[in-house]
Structure 1
Amino acid sequence: MLLPLAHHSEPIDPDLWEWLSDKIDHVLGIDAGAMVLLLGAVIVLFPVAVMVLVWRRRA
């Protein structure tokens, strides 16, 4: 009989998340707010860059 794995109410293990967050902050050396802005800019600029490239290729 297979028993269900131990599970907690959070979507990710809090200890694992804290460890990952500390490691990412240590490696990148930037603030969490700056990381959010950087990733947000990449998410917005990538589709815009693709649209510009498609537009230039058609012209």
Structure 2
Amino acid sequence: MLLAFILCVIKAIVLFMVVTFQPIIWISALLILIKTIGPADFLGAAADGDYELGKPGPQPG
């Protein structure tokens, strides 16, 4: 399922590149996409904002 989503995103980016021929637009779109889905998928618990602010996360106990 995740692989299908990734392939779909790549396909959309490639089609967008072919249609527009403007690298600045698709590079910025890719950076926005990575920034949007990156923390939620790859940082896990740090995506709540505590990591970026330098505060410690939830402590056990």
Tell me the TM-score normalised to structure 2 length: 0.35
- Name the larger-Rg structure: 1
Instruction: Write 1 or 2 for the structure with the bigger share of helix.
Output: 2
Tell me the TM-score normalised to structure 1 length: 0.36
